[in-house]
Amino acid sequence: MRHVLLIEDEPNIIEALSFIFLRDGWKVDAHSDGANAVATAVQTAPNAIILDVMLPNRSGFEILEELRSLPDYKDIPILMLTARGQTKDRDIAIARGASQYMTKPFSNAEVLKTMNALVGHAP
């Protein structure tokens, strides 16, 4: 089963993305605090992650880097979402191992399409 962990602190985004992923047959877990996001990822064992850059208590870039240092998370698809659309932020995300980088506002359908492609279940 496709299983995504949403690491995002905006309730409206969590609700919207959860809805479209559940409707598409995904299992969805959500987490909103950067401080223990890595532990949540390890505990829930998703096969894909959507990670916000700006989270309370810890940067999404730091979380990404720590996840990529773990053997089980070296190759897991991670889509970074952010309101920060500057080229340097995209470069940081890609250098630290993001699979894709998308700026807010985004199309819910585009997020779903991207994640399906990343996990090999494109429609």
Give, in order, the Cα–Cα distances in Å from 27 to each of 22, 49, 83, 103: 6, 12, 25, 24
- Alpha-carbon distance values, 105 to 77, 94, 113 (Å): 21, 20, 16
Question: Per the domain annotation, does 30 fall within a domain?
Answer: yes
Q: Give domain status of residue 123, yes or no.
A: no
Which CATH number is 55's domain given? 3.40.50.2300
- Residue numbers of the domain that contains 24: 3-117
User: Does residue 87 lie within any of the structural domains?
Assistant: yes
The answer to whether residue 43 sits within a structural domain is yes
CA angle 28, 34, 37 (to 5 degrees): 45
How many structural domains comprise the chain? Answer: 1
Q: Which amino acid is at 122?
A: A
One digit per residue, the tens of pLDDT, for the chain of length 123 reads 899 999 999 999 999 999 999 999 999 999 999 999 999 999 999 999 999 999 999 999 999 999 999 999 999 999 999 887 678 888 889 999 999 999 888 899 999 999 999 998 644
- Looking at residue 123, its pLDDT comes to 46
Q: What is the pLDDT of residue 121?
A: 66
Whether residue 122 is contained in a domain is answered as no
Asked if residue 99 is part of any domain, the answer here is yes
Q: Contact, 48 vs 81, CB < 8 A?
A: no
Q: Is residue 91 part of a domain?
A: yes
